[in-house]
Amino acid sequence: MTRILAIGEAMVELTHQGPTALSLSYAGDTANTAVYLQRLLGSTGSVDYATAVGDDPYSEGLVERLAEEGLGTRLVWRRIGRRLGLYLVRTDDTGERHFVYYRAGSAATGLFGPGHDPGADAAIASYDLVYLSLITLQILTPVARARLWDVLDNVRAHGGRVVFDGNYRPTGWPNARQARIAAEAALRRTDVALPTWSDEQALFGEHSPDDCIDRLRALGVAEGVVKNGPAPCVAFTATDAYHVAPTLVARVVDTTAAGDAFNAAFLAARLQGASLVEAARAGHRLAGSVIQHPGAIVPTALLPPAVPATRHIDSGPSYPRTIHG
């Protein structure tokens, strides 16, 4: 069984159901991916979530929700006197979402900071796959990020793989330069990169997904996908690249978590033996399903069928645990 750890912040999600009505749920980019990944892997994989929560009722509600989805919570730390972060999301007529965040000082912003359990570092190194995003890095202090770099280095030294989604949200950073420094530091420790082209263009000023792939390869990334909304994504290895068209969708309701869902389905398919292209198609299928329904996490019954395992010339390296050095 493949053991996977996602690291980040899950928050209270308040979604507008009208001018004054709101519905409450829990979400966050890495948490969304973790939920979908566990659903897709079933008994073939075990997904844990690493975050920090407070001592408020909503924090307890989040932990219960993660457990209900089958996620392991042994690396969820409770911070006395802290609270869970919160965000509101409103969708326009095209299904595009707009966010307002209330996360300053949330429990998760203390991850890898003072009071961090040193025993957790060794625990994290035992996972086969560790997943994080630029939003994970955004909430951390510079000192905490430096500690996380050591943790990721240790993961890879023990044969694990690191997966990184360059999920860039400008409002969460003092400036773009700091975001670029953090992203590049993470990518130097990344085996599988799953960025979105619009984010990469905004952060790095590149002219095409090909430019983005060249940069990722230069940083040592072995494979990945540059997602591109309704346009074809580009799946790549160190030597090859493949344009994969998305699933056609009749009506977009809510684009929340489209990229998170894509990442989950891509990783699940690769872990189950699918080729790079088939895994990208699986990502498109799940993302296409998710955006036809409101909210970040859609009911399990609405998930598309799992992709059959295939092996092709474009399959690239599989994800076994291999000892480096």
Question: Hey, which residues are catalytic here?
Answer: 260
Q: Indicate the residue type of 146.
A: A
CA distance 113 to 125: 18
Neighbours of 87 (CB within 10 A): 16
Token pair 């994969």 is found at 244
Side-chain-side CA neighbours of 159 within 13 Å: the count stands at: 9
Token pair 């943790």 is found at 151
Rounded (5°) CA angle 35-41-42: 90
Nearest alpha-carbon partner for 209 in 280, 271, 289:
280
Using alpha carbons, list the distances in angstroms from residue 97 to 179, 232, 251.
22, 21, 15
Question: How far from the centroid of its chain's Cα atoms is residue 133's Cα?
Answer: 6
